Chains A and B, each alone.
Chain A
Amino acid sequence: MMMNHTLKSQYRVSPGTTIIGKWHSNRYMIIKELGFGANGVVYLAKHDEAQVALKMSDNGMSIISEVNVLKSFAKVQGSVSLGPSLLDVDDWQTNRGMVSFYVMEYIHGPDLLSFLQQKGKAWMPVLFLQLLNDLAKLHENGWVFGDLKPENLIIAGPPPKIRCIDVGGTTIQGRAIKEFTEFYDRGYWGLGSRKAEATYDLFAVAMIIINTAYPKRFTKTTGGISQLRGAIRERPELLLYESVIVKALQGHYKTAKQMRAELLDCMHEHPVPDRMKGNSPAQKPKSAKPHQTSQPLTRQRYRKSKKKRGRMEFIMITIGVAVLLYILCIFF
């Protein structure tokens, strides 16, 4: 069998190369490289005039593992799903040996953070509601996504729809998480185990929400809920969702549906102004927040002063009546 003694070696294919599958004889023309990770390289390719994404790896096992996940995704899915749909699996004979690859739907669009930068924060809750809906379906079918992070979340469309392009970390519930990224991993922050549970994904979702206000992320200092809560309180745009984020970080939501419902409640309580362009994403919500919190505050003060005025009137009348009675007593 093929053995990799180092994790870094990776097979690279130059644009224009035609790949022909050993088993199914489909032809794919490589257009360009889309990205690479620990488990292989993804290329944009052309097949029968259609654009597809082709993932190739020296490690045939990781390819097969991901194919298994994509197949089970297909069983879960309704109309449009979180992950890409699987089109083909095959091997390619090269002069360096056999390389395994699979072909999937090409999901095209900006990643989550770039999309929010361009379109403004008003899109944020919408996309997270979509994401939680898809996760709910995934969890109901016994899977956990595992390696959720903004780089892997693509906003396809129009109409904008959140999709996930890397399913390598997807794990059967109850097993150990296969793949993760520290910032989004509850184990790293000291807030839970690496067992594949719905709560694991919901923690990652909460961290992605935090990430939208900290595009460069931050590193662990003290770790734990105190550091993360501190980070939330420093960003006004996160403050609106503080209760939901903190509950998700602490694993209080057992299902994605619960978290979704409370996120939606947040929206009703604090409607986001509908025109917020992404030019100054950090400042706009700041100007919006005092406005929202000051409204109830003024109303309360108004009521209080009204009550005070009522009491004054009562005192004046009482004194008046007393004086009147006193005068009457003197004269009669």
Chain B
Amino acid sequence: MYTGKIRQILLITDGCSNQGEDPIAMAALAKEQGITVNVIGVMEQDVIDEKGMTEIEGIAASGGGVSQIVYAKQLSQTVQMVTRKAMNQTIQGVVNRELQQILGRSQTMEDLPPEKRGEVMEVVDELGETVDLEVLILVDTSASMKQKLETVKEALLDLSLSLTARTGNNHFSVFVFPGKKNPVEKLLDWTPKLQSLTSIFSQLSTGGITPTGPALRTALASFEEKRSLRSLLSNDDESYFEESV
């Protein structure tokens, strides 16, 4: 069985970026490095404007991931659903590539008769259960997010609950933007458990600009750091699932 690793960025925001590089370009860069970018747009009563909406969909599209706009109340359920869906998409991408190698260039799962597809799906399900997952969570802490941070915390703890029920390993890291001093700040370094968030999250201050692009760039750097650190410790090559469309 192929044991690779799935790497994702989960961006939680409530609107438009207003500083630094284009987040859509940064998301495209992530995808090139085999990292999927998913975006969740959180609403309160207010509606996310057209511009914010376009940006959210744009980031997910160029990041090869999933986007969803939700009311703060439904955040928990959505965060885990989006993460899971994106993970399955990535696995399906990999399985499809393997199929193409076996069956010939233009063949994908949809070209198989329904009976055969079921067997392939079992492989996809199995991989979803056992694959290692790295999720970097980027939380927008601009002023308008203040009321929603408690809900975001709940949703992240809930995500951890869902993912740790799997057999495969999980690694999480959390960044906020803007930070106290820098545009982007690391809140939690790579860890298998998100529980430690509870205390850190209550001390968060909100305010200022929304540097979504720089936040994504920092996230990519963090993945790179993690990879090089691990290759120092062990010599074996890491294999990553990469998105194919």
- Check B166–A64 contact: CB distance below 8 A: no
Known: A7-B81, A60-B109, A177-B165. A65 touches B121 (CB 8 A): yes
- Check A98–B121 contact: CB distance below 8 A: no
Pick the contact of A1 from B82, B84, B93, B166 — CB < 8 Å? B93
Pick the contact of A3 from B89, B109, B124 — CB < 8 Å? B89
Interface digits, B66-91 against A, CB 8 Å rule (1 contact, 0 not)?
11100000001100011011001100
Pick the contact of B77 from A89, A90, A177, A182 — CB < 8 Å? A182
- Check B118–A193 contact: CB distance below 8 A: no
A175 to B89, CA, bound (A): 19
Collect the chain B residues with CB atoms within 8 Å of residue A90's CB: 114
Main secondary structure of the interface of B (DSSP, over half): helix
Collect the chain B residues with CB atoms within 8 Å of residue A5's CB: 57, 60-61, 65-67
Collect the chain B residues with CB atoms within 8 Å of residue A8's CB: 68
Collect the chain B residues with CB atoms within 8 Å of residue A23's CB: 113-114
- Check B124–A176 contact: CB distance below 8 A: no
Tell me if B187 is interfacial: C-beta within 8 Å of chain A: no
Tell me if A12 is interfacial: C-beta within 8 Å of chain B: no
**Interface members, chain A 194-231 (any B CB < 8 Å):** 194-196
- Check A68–B121 contact: CB distance below 8 A: yes
- Check A67–B114 contact: CB distance below 8 A: yes
Collect the chain A residues with CB atoms within 8 Å of residue B166's CB: 175-176
Measured between C-beta atoms, what is the minimum distance from B80 to chain A in Å? 9
- Check B76–A182 contact: CB distance below 8 A: yes
The chain B residue with its CB closest to the CB of A174 is B167
Measured between C-beta atoms, what is the minimum distance from A19 to chain B in Å? 14
The chain A residue with its CB closest to the CB of B88 is A61
- Check B125–A65 contact: CB distance below 8 A: yes
Tell me if A327 is interfacial: C-beta within 8 Å of chain B: no
- Check A7–B85 contact: CB distance below 8 A: yes
Tell me if A91 is interfacial: C-beta within 8 Å of chain B: yes
Known: A3-B89, A89-B114, A175-B166. A188 touches B125 (CB 8 A): no
Collect the chain A residues with CB atoms within 8 Å of residue B47's CB: none
Tell me if A2 is interfacial: C-beta within 8 Å of chain B: yes
**Interface members, chain A 156-209 (any B CB < 8 Å):** 172, 174-178, 182, 187-188, 193-196
Collect the chain A residues with CB atoms within 8 Å of residue B164's CB: 193
- Check B118–A64 contact: CB distance below 8 A: yes
Measured between C-beta atoms, what is the minimum distance from B89 to chain A in Å? 7
Collect the chain B residues with CB atoms within 8 Å of residue A64's CB: 114, 117-118, 120-121
A196 to B118, CA, bound (A): 21
User: Given A61-B121, A67-B114, 15 other A-B contacts at CB below 8 A?
Assistant: A1-B245, A5-B57, A5-B60, A5-B67, A6-B68, A7-B68, A7-B82, A8-B68, A68-B118, A89-B114, A89-B115, A176-B167, A182-B76, A182-B77, A188-B76
